[in-house]
Amino acid sequence: MLESNKDSAKLDAMKRIVGMIAKGKNASELFPAVVKNVASKNIEIKKLVYVYLVRYAEEQQDLALLSISTFQRALKDPNQLIRASALRVLSSIRVPIIVPIMMLAIKEASADLSPYVRKNAAHAIQKLYSLDPDQKEMLIEVIEKLLKDKSTLVAGSVVMAFEEVCPDRIDLIHKNYRKLCNLLVDVEEWGQVVIIHMLTRYARTQFVSPWKEDDGLEDNEKNFYESDDEQKEKTDQKKKPYTMDPDHRLLIRNTKPLLQSRNAAVVMAVAQLYWHISPKSEAGIISKSLVRLLRSNREVQYIVLQNIATMSIQRKGLFEPYLKSFYVRSTDPTMIKTLKLEILTNLANEANISTLLREFQTYVKSQDKQFAAATIQTIGRCATNISEVTDTCLNGLVCLLSNRDEIVVAESVVVIKKLLQMQPVQHGEIIKHMAKLLDSITVPVARASILWLIGENCERVPVIAPDVLRKMAKSFTNEDDLVKLQILNLAAKLYLTNSKQTKLLTQYILNLGKYDQNYDIRDRTRFIRQLIVPNEKSGALSKYAKKIFLAQKPAPLLESPFKDRDHFQLGTLSHTLNTKATGYLELSNWPEVAPDPSVRDVEVVELAKELIPAGKAKKENPAKKFYSESEEEEESSDSSSDSESESGSESGEEGDSSEDSSEDSSSEQDSESGSESKGENKRTAKRNSKIKEESDSEDGEKENEKSKTSNSSNAESSSIEESSSDSESESESESEIESESRKVTKEREKKTKQDRNPLAKDISLLDLDDFNPVSTPVALPTPALSPSLIADLEGLNLSTSSSVISVSTPVFVPMKTHVLLHRMSGKGLAAHYFFPRQPCIFGDKMVSVQITLNNTTDQKIANIHIGEKKLPIGMQIHVFNPIESLEPEGSITVSMGIDFCDSTQTASFQLCTKDDCFNVNIQPPVGELLLPVAMSEKDFKKEQGMLTGMNETSTVIITAPQNFTPSVILQKVVNVANVGVVPSGQDNIHRFAAKTVHSGSLMLLTVELKEGSTAQLIINTEKTVIGSVLLRELKPVLSQG
């Protein structure tokens, strides 16, 4: 049927084959026939073939290779789902020959536009790694790149890959730590679990312990404070309030909402995170959530109870309020019952013991005998732990001795034995009672325990003891080995204390023991005989026989079996099994001194790599020299930004108002750590005082500048003295990238001051703009790095067909606002809008628009919302949530998304208040319908080559030569259109790239400077209408002086 022409027949055949696989039957002989269908157009057949391939490719490697080319083609498919599934299957067929192909595919996919494909790339990394661990270095590079990804979809998978491939490379996390913390809530559930586990380990290595001094941290305390920037602290070494690292706090705060997750695994992960890294006072909140989990399935209950058991040993108070939740139901499975008992025991204290004992009484009567026995043990443990109730327990246990069930009686005997041992008081009555029981009990452990007890206390029960021995001698041969040993012991002890009555009996028993089948018993017999029966050979030892046998025995400690589990990380498999499972990562102890917190400061992305070496270079002499060199430049830029920061500070305010508390703290922290690390620098000390008066934006700028200078210094130092190439352990390719990016930075430094202004903002916003779509202008030099990186990676590529296009962040965001509703026509309600140039959160195809509403009346305006929409076909609006009321003189900024369908048509809608409706419309400037794109020059040229003829429009511009400096052109172009800069090899050609928001078609812009004062402006795009409109708009802008 597979040969059939009809899809339906093929499908039917494939379904049968997959059915066979599922049942575990071998279907491998069909391999060739199936592989032929891999190129099928029908997506369902394709999927089933994939299933088949994954199952059998390993066995038939040669034939599997036939299908590889199909996958390679599918990897270029415009449909992201097909790309992703091709990658998934390609990486799942475990054929070692195709490792290089897989490597390539992963690299390409990791730069894919679709986060879904990138997610699959992250998965593929693990698979490739397990297939061929030699690829580790290359894979780490890809992981590093993917870790920077902002998509929540990717985050979970890449952390998973990180854990699998290189869990020890904690340095890769530094940069992304804050981002991960902030994204955590939005990541899908399974990703959350992995990330939380990783962050727990991270936190344990990077932060100092928040636990109080009683945890044995006194000696570390001093060190810790020394490492802090505040030198004053050292003078008075009295107890200081512990100050938690803000990043540590961030993690704890961000995971808190996840305790309310519906996914048990997430709750468990957060619980272990709190347990391991949060201050003891805060860990309390986890108990509530864990108790909630007890309602779910038995498997979940089992795991959770185990973890609670471990926790309850260390911290009783945590679960005490929930004591009753651990009461046992008769329908619980035995393992759950025993775990609950365990917890109840751990929680027992003087206050609640009476209720607990009453509860235990019910349990003892349970039909489940195993459970009843466990309860008896529990009672024993309670009795030892809480001295007040020991007697009560003991009496209760003695009552149980008359129980009809053997297991219960046996268990009570064992427990009583242990209890009596701890109490040197007279308990003759009980012992006598037990001696009587010896006739009826058959369980060996119990019999042995009774014998031992009698032997130990034989002086207190002189009448019974020899009698018991007599009985036992009679039945010796039929006893269990355990009992035999105890009989021997008893005989020896009696012989020593009461040799008159028992001499013959002992002789008899020893003789029996001598010919026993078990060698242990024979050995013991021989040993005892030598020791106690005096003869000429054994001299010295027999004198001490009495001491040896009747020594005071230390009472056993009844301990929880969960006592030793606490060294395993909670919530892990190892913890559950109480053995070390493969791949278990030890949770390290708290570091004594906090590692430099500044490593987590998120710098401008391109500088990420250089930061660590830069930090080190600071302390070195050559670096200082360079600082002084760059000081001038810095000072000047400083002053310039001061004078020209109108727009910057304006936007700063706006940004602040929309920022929430978490952002605040992180930006605060930026400045803190910045000042910390530079404590030694006089220059910064001077500046520190300045900073206090300045707004956040300047803070960010300072950071930026710092890294820049250190960066340039670094570049120079490495060029001058290459031998002392710092302490970088990066590969050559990386350093190449570095130097390239340094070049770019230097170029950027030369750019105009205006350019600097928006640039200054990025620090405080960088890690926030993911969840803060309404953020203020952000200018990121990302495009400067990514292309070079991509170009670099492309060099490694074997195939040249790929073109890597990824959306980057806007270079510049103009603050130009447009009037939506004038206050005169809006009866006091004024509305302005502007384009924040952020990817829209409401949909991929939407342009985000920010609307600022002002109330200029002296009354409240209530219920502002969007009413009727009059949109051209295809256009969509995602409206903002209605605003309940706007105070007089108040203003509020909301964001909405509009899908303009790549046209400049007007979106008309009604802006309504409680009483009125106003017709308003938004017409987008063509430049706002674009999203900037980062690409390399090579890609640019290739794409340009494909977009010629009809798709090309060009014009000539004439203007004064001073308008043709690179910075002026850049400024003018980005002002008009939201495009990304493409690094250019030639001075006279400037290239920009973007894609349209709705359809994602490329928009390539070239400004070529010619002789004299002319220049040619070329636009290549499929969307010729937009292209020509953009050309018309750009031309006058570039022409004017």
167 to 186, contacts with other proteins by CB under 8 A? 185-186
Tell me the CA distances in angstroms from 637 to 705, 752, 763, 824, 835, one per residue in order.
Answer: 9, 10, 17, 42, 28
Q: Report the residue number, 333 or 462, with the smaller CB distance to other proteins.
A: 333
Q: How many residues bind other proteins (CB under 8 A)?
A: 107
Does residue 325 interact with other proteins by CB under 8 A?
yes
Cβ–Cβ < 8 Å for 812, 974: yes
Q: Report the residue number, 121 or 451, with the smaller CB distance to other proteins.
A: 121
Does residue 772 interact with other proteins by CB under 8 A?
no
Q: In the bound complex, what is the minimum distance in angstroms from residue 263's beta carbon to other proteins?
A: 7
Q: Report the residue number, 403 or 733, with the smaller CB distance to other proteins.
A: 403
Q: In the bound complex, what is the minimum distance in angstroms from residue 17's beta carbon to other proteins?
A: 10
Distance between CA atoms of 497 and 507, rounded to whole angstroms? Answer: 15
Single residue of 295, 537, 619, 686 touching other proteins by CB under 8 A = 295
Distance between CA atoms of 903 and 896, rounded to whole angstroms? Answer: 18
Q: Report the residue number, 30 or 573, with the smaller CB distance to other proteins.
A: 573
By CB under 8 A, the residues from 108 to 127 that bind other proteins are 114-116, 119-120, 123, 126-127
Write the DSSP string, 585-632: PPPPPPPSSPPPGGGG----GGGHHHHHHHHHHTTSHHHHHHHHHHHH
Stretch that binds other proteins, among 290-298, 506-514, 967-975, 1010-1018 (CB under 8 A): 290-298
Q: Where are the extended beta strands (E) located within 935-1029?
A: 952-958, 980-982, 989-996, 1002-1009, 1014-1021
Single residue of 62, 236, 299, 732 touching other proteins by CB under 8 A = 299
Q: Report the residue number, 474 or 869, with the smaller CB distance to other proteins.
A: 869
Cβ count within 10 A of residue 680: 10
By CB under 8 A, the residues from 33 to 92 that bind other proteins are 42-44, 47-48, 50-51, 55, 58, 79-82, 84, 88, 91-92
By CB under 8 A, the residues from 835 to 854 that bind other proteins are 841, 843-844
The residue written with tokens 């054929």 in the block is: 95
Distance between CA atoms of 345 and 313, rounded to whole angstroms? Answer: 9
Stretch that binds other proteins, among 326-334, 651-659, 974-982, 1032-1040 (CB under 8 A): 326-334
The residue written with tokens 């009844």 in the block is: 558
| Amino acid (1-letter code) at residue 139 | L
Does residue 255 interact with other proteins by CB under 8 A?
no
Stretch that binds other proteins, among 5-13, 205-213, 905-913, 1000-1008 (CB under 8 A): 5-13
Q: Report the residue number, 38 or 194, with the smaller CB distance to other proteins.
A: 194
Does residue 999 interact with other proteins by CB under 8 A?
no
Single residue of 63, 398, 573, 892 touching other proteins by CB under 8 A = 573
Does residue 571 interact with other proteins by CB under 8 A?
yes
Q: In the bound complex, what is the minimum distance in angstroms from residue 193's beta carbon to other proteins?
A: 6
- The gap between the terminal CA atoms of the chain, to the nearest Å, is 74
Q: Report the residue number, 390 or 576, with the smaller CB distance to other proteins.
A: 576
Tokens coding 320: 């005490």
> If DSSP codes are grouped into helix, strand and coil, which group holds residue 900?
coil
Name residues whose C-beta falls within 8 Å of residue 297's C-beta, 6 or more positions apart in sequence: none
Nearest Cα to 697, choosing from 739, 742, 642? Answer: 642
The residue written with tokens 């040229």 in the block is: 941
DSSP 8-state assignment for residue 582: T
Single residue of 67, 310, 366, 772 touching other proteins by CB under 8 A = 366
DSSP 8-state assignment for residue 839: B
Q: Report the residue number, 283 or 454, with the smaller CB distance to other proteins.
A: 283
Q: In the bound complex, what is the minimum distance in angstroms from residue 594's beta carbon to other proteins?
A: 27
Single residue of 19, 96, 428, 561 touching other proteins by CB under 8 A = 19
Does residue 662 interact with other proteins by CB under 8 A?
no
Q: Which stretches of 423-518 are DSSP H helices? A: 428-437, 444-456, 464-475, 481-497, 499-514
Residue positions counted in the chain: 1041
Q: In the bound complex, what is the minimum distance in angstroms from residue 667's beta carbon to other proteins?
A: 20
Nearest Cα to 575, choosing from 271, 206, 297, 251? Answer: 271
Does residue 508 interact with other proteins by CB under 8 A?
no
By CB under 8 A, the residues from 386 to 415 that bind other proteins are 403-405
Does residue 263 interact with other proteins by CB under 8 A?
yes
User: Binding string, 800-839, against other proteins, x = CB under 8 A?
Assistant: ----------------------------------------
User: Binding string, 180-219, against other proteins, x = CB under 8 A?
Assistant: -----xx-xxx--xx--x----------------------
Q: Report the residue number, 499 or 863, with the smaller CB distance to other proteins.
A: 863
Tokens coding 266: 């997430």
Tokens coding 284: 């309390």
> If DSSP codes are grouped into helix, strand and coil, which group holds residue 959?
coil
Cβ–Cβ < 8 Å for 1004, 991: yes
Q: Report the residue number, 342 or 939, with the smaller CB distance to other proteins.
A: 342
User: Binding string, 329-358, against other proteins, x = CB under 8 A?
Assistant: xxx-xxx-----------------------
Stretch that binds other proteins, among 461-469, 579-587, 688-696, 801-809 (CB under 8 A): 579-587
Q: In the bound complex, what is the minimum distance in angstroms from residue 492's beta carbon to other proteins?
A: 39
Q: Give the max Cα distance, the chain.
A: 130
Tokens coding 897: 């998304």
DSSP 8-state assignment for residue 293: H
Q: In the bound complex, what is the minimum distance in angstroms from residue 655's beta carbon to other proteins?
A: 19
Tell me the CA distances in angstroms from 952 to 51, 77, 777, 940, 1026, one per residue in order.
Answer: 45, 26, 31, 14, 11
Q: Report the residue number, 262 or 537, with the smaller CB distance to other proteins.
A: 262
Q: In the bound complex, what is the minimum distance in angstroms from residue 850's beta carbon to other proteins?
A: 17
CA dihedral of residues 1017, 1021, 1026, 1032 (deg, nearest 10): 10
Stretch that binds other proteins, among 324-332, 590-598, 747-755, 775-783 (CB under 8 A): 324-332
User: Binding string, 925-964, against other proteins, x = CB under 8 A?
Assistant: ----------------------------------------
User: Binding string, 122-151, against other proteins, x = CB under 8 A?
Assistant: -x--xx--x---------------------
By CB under 8 A, the residues from 687 to 716 that bind other proteins are none
Does residue 278 interact with other proteins by CB under 8 A?
no
Does residue 10 interact with other proteins by CB under 8 A?
no
Name residues whose C-beta falls within 8 Å of residue 328's C-beta, 6 or more positions apart in sequence: 337, 340, 341, 363, 371
The residue written with tokens 């459970």 in the block is: 371
By CB under 8 A, the residues from 870 to 909 that bind other proteins are 878-879, 881-882
Q: Report the residue number, 293 or 608, with the smaller CB distance to other proteins.
A: 293
CA dihedral of residues 362, 363, 369, 371 (deg, nearest 10): 180
What's the gap between Cα 505 and its chain centre? 71
Does residue 566 interact with other proteins by CB under 8 A?
no
Stretch that binds other proteins, among 214-222, 360-368, 481-489, 888-896 (CB under 8 A): 360-368
Q: In the bound complex, what is the minimum distance in angstroms from residue 111's beta carbon to other proteins?
A: 17
Does residue 1 interact with other proteins by CB under 8 A?
no
| Amino acid (1-letter code) at residue 959 | T
Nearest Cα to 256, choosing from 276, 281, 280, 273? Answer: 273
Helix H or strand E encompassing 910: strand 907-912
Q: Is the alpha carbon torsion for 756, 758, 760, 762 positive or negative?
A: negative
Beta-strand pair 806-807/818-821: unpaired
